[in-house]
Amino acid sequence: MAREATADVGLIGLAVMGQNLALNLADHGYRVAVFNRTTEVMKHFVATEKPPGGLVGCETVQELVASLARPRKVILLVKAGPAVDEVTKELIEAGMEPDDIVVDCGNSLWTDTIRREKEYAGRCKFFGSGVSGGEVGARFGPSLMPGGDPDSWKHLEPIWKAIAAKVDEKTGRPIESYAPGKPVVGGVPCTTYLGPNGAGHYVKMVHNGIEYIDMQLIAEAYTLLTNLLGMKPPELSEVFDRWNDGDLDSYLIQITRDIFAQHDPVHQEGYLVDYVLDAAGQKGTGKWTSVNALDMGIPASSIAEAVFARCMSALKEERVVASKHLDGPRRAHDERRDELVAAIRDALYCSKICAYAQGFELMREGEKEYGWSFDFAAIAGIFRGGCIIRARFLQKIMEAYSRDNGLVNLLLDPYFGDQIQKGQRSWRKVVALAATTGIAAPAFMSALAYYDGYRSERLPANLLQAQRDYFGAHTYERTDAPRGTFFHLDWTAPGRPQVEIRRP
Ligand code: 6PG
């Protein structure tokens, strides 16, 4: 049966994220054609949900393509990887035309998006968009990070702006509504065009790298509060509730507060968090961020540390054995309770600033490497609502980059420099205490090392260069010669003169 081409947008992949994004679109009046590999899932979805814009159930990809108004716009919410190519090829075979748009909304590797845009050019416009905010975000307003062909963006922009999370224009605080069929009216949408090809997926990847370190820092604050002060979940919940009322105000602090308040649903007493096994999983976006930082030579050390912290946690059985063999110090200290809680808060905040400094520095290098041109204030702006790292202090990051889009590092912004200045005594105290009491706090420590490294006019890398030259004639530059002039000394031959090495 021939389909009338009346649907505004198509969506493939009806797992929870796909279903929720389809409902979000339809809540904003868009008629959404939906397809899922398992037809029963699609049928059940269409039979159960009756959102305002309407859903058009499609049993085949051909039906979906036939039901779309031109230029066709099809959103993919399928597993990142080969499935994206498989579905795109199916769509092309089913009749997509050169100006029709396929939008990959999964957590795809940005280089795949760059490759796909080229590979499918002339057959369809392949577009990438990061989507952050989990299931609830997809349903009621995610942060959307689009990148791809600018002409295709013109067709997507109104849709993206409609379904994205909204923040208040003046305060930058999220405006939220969790009522189906009653989306937020007004506000600034948390989406902006980020650049061509893989720019959107790149920014989403860095968002996830920041998400990893944000979460790890919170986890370290938890272990310090627990191990140094003996705090139990109800008290931890109160502490996080207080912390949420200030610079640390963020989605991740809020959910942490709520997690600590959750009783165990299995046992009569106790809290669920105490029963959750301490072995963290990961799907790879934090690792991609770290690998990219290593590839580009950017010291995003705390982001990488957060990935390694998950790797360490996953060695559960080994750790259990090691805990019986390897000694550490006693966890004794003479800090006052309220002072230590405040110091841990400061350590968390200062480390968080360093984490964002690393993430934004990485994006600055990424834009050079891939020929993009990021508006960093706009990126901070779309992180203010909808996404997992949404936080009050993103307004401050936005303001910092609005003052100077060329800001080399967030730490050099006067506001953030001042914040670190205020918190660094406590931060150092907490890191020292973690070391002397034997509590693993790798992200706090790494962030502090990043800060101290970054503010060091002179690092001991002179010795590294001397060593490299000693054993491998790798040459060195001199403090008393212009940069880019290289020398070598035969360190084992006394009296041999230093030679200048001309590089081609
Ligand atoms: C988001 C999240 C999401 C991510 C999960 C799981 O922005 O909504 O980043 O995209 O998939 O957080 O990531 P890990 O399994 O790697 O922790």
Summarised one tens digit per residue, pLDDT across range 372-412 is 999 999 999 999 999 999 999 999 999 999 999 999 999 99
Candidates 207, 212, 283: which one to mutate for ligand 1, based on the most atoms within 8 Å of Cβ?
A: 283
Which of ligand 1's atoms lies nearest the C-alpha of 211? 9
Per-residue CA distances from 62 to 55, 56, 96, 175 (Å)? 16, 13, 9, 39
Which of ligand 1's atoms lies nearest the C-alpha of 280? 17
- Active-site residue 318, yes or no? no
Question: Is it the case that residue 134 has pLDDT exceeding 80?
Answer: yes
Alpha carbons 84 and 68: distance in angstroms, whole number:
20
Which of ligand 1's atoms lies nearest the C-alpha of 133? 8
Question: Is it the case that residue 84 has pLDDT exceeding 90?
Answer: yes
Distance 16 CA to ligand 1 centre (A): 14
CATH superfamily of 9-197: NAD(P)-binding Rossmann-like Domain (3.40.50.720)
Percent of the chain whose predicted confidence (pLDDT) is above 90? 96
Which of ligand 1's atoms lies nearest the C-alpha of 142? 8
Summarised one tens digit per residue, pLDDT across range 459-499 is 999 999 999 999 999 999 999 999 999 999 999 999 999 99
**Cβ proximity of 360 and 410 under 8 Å:** yes
Question: Is it the case that residue 1 has pLDDT exceeding 60?
Answer: no
Q: Cα 328 to the chain's mean position, in Å?
A: 34
Percent of the chain whose predicted confidence (pLDDT) is above 70? 99
Fold category of 202-454 in CATH: N-(1-d-carboxylethyl)-l-norvaline Dehydrogenase; domain 2 (1.10.1040)
Distance 93 CA to ligand 1 centre (A): 32
Distance 208 CA to ligand 1 centre (A): 7
The reported pLDDT for the residue numbered 337 is 97
Question: Is it the case that residue 504 has pLDDT exceeding 80?
Answer: no
* Strands 125-132 and 101-104, sheet pairing: parallel
What is the pLDDT of the chain when averaged over all its residues?
A: 97
Distance 464 CA to ligand 1 centre (A): 38
Distance 205 CA to ligand 1 centre (A): 9
Distance 81 CA to ligand 1 centre (A): 15
Alpha carbons 254 and 258: distance in angstroms, whole number:
6
Question: Is it the case that residue 290 has pLDDT exceeding 90?
Answer: yes
The reported pLDDT for the residue numbered 2 is 59
CATH superfamily of 461-502: 6-Phosphogluconate Dehydrogenase, domain 3 (1.20.5.320)
The reported pLDDT for the residue numbered 270 is 96
Query: Ligand 1 atom 9: the closest Cα is on which residue?
Result: 208
Candidates 21, 79, 145, 211: which one to mutate for ligand 1, based on the most atoms within 8 Å of Cβ?
A: 211
Tokens 């101290």 sit on residue:
452
Alpha carbons 73 and 58: distance in angstroms, whole number:
15
Query: Ligand 1 atom 10: the closest Cα is on which residue?
Result: 132
Summarised one tens digit per residue, pLDDT across range 244-272 is 999 999 999 999 999 999 999 999 889 99
Closest CA to 69 of 153, 157, 146, 10: 10
The reported pLDDT for the residue numbered 268 is 80
**How is the chain split into domains, by residue range?**
9-197, 202-454, 461-502
The pocket around ligand 1, CB under 6 angstroms, is made up of 107, 132-134, 208, 211, 281-283, 285-286, 387-388
How many other CB atoms are there within 10 angstroms of residue 334's CB atom? 4
Summarised one tens digit per residue, pLDDT across range 271-287 is 999 999 999 999 999 99
Q: Give the contacts of 148 (CB within 8 A, at least 6 positions apart).
A: 103, 113, 117, 125, 126, 127, 128, 129, 196, 197, 199, 200
Summarised one tens digit per residue, pLDDT across range 142-201 is 999 999 999 999 999 999 999 999 999 999 999 998 999 999 989 999 999 999 999 999
Annotated active-site residue in 211, 220, 361, 367: 211
Tokens 């005594």 sit on residue:
425
Amino acid at 302: S
The reported pLDDT for the residue numbered 331 is 87
Q: Which SS3 state, helix, strand or coil, does residue 263 take?
A: strand
Candidates 16, 21, 107, 390: which one to mutate for ligand 1, based on the most atoms within 8 Å of Cβ?
A: 107
**Cβ proximity of 187 and 167 under 8 Å:** yes
- Active-site residue 97, yes or no? no
Which of ligand 1's atoms lies nearest the C-alpha of 204? 7
For residues 349-366, average pLDDT: 98
Annotated active-site residue in 73, 125, 166, 204: 204
Question: Is it the case that residue 27 has pLDDT exceeding 90?
Answer: yes
The reported pLDDT for the residue numbered 412 is 98
Distance 96 CA to ligand 1 centre (A): 30
Candidates 77, 79, 388: which one to mutate for ligand 1, based on the most atoms within 8 Å of Cβ?
A: 388
For residues 204-211, average pLDDT: 98
Question: Is it the case that residue 3 has pLDDT exceeding 90?
Answer: no
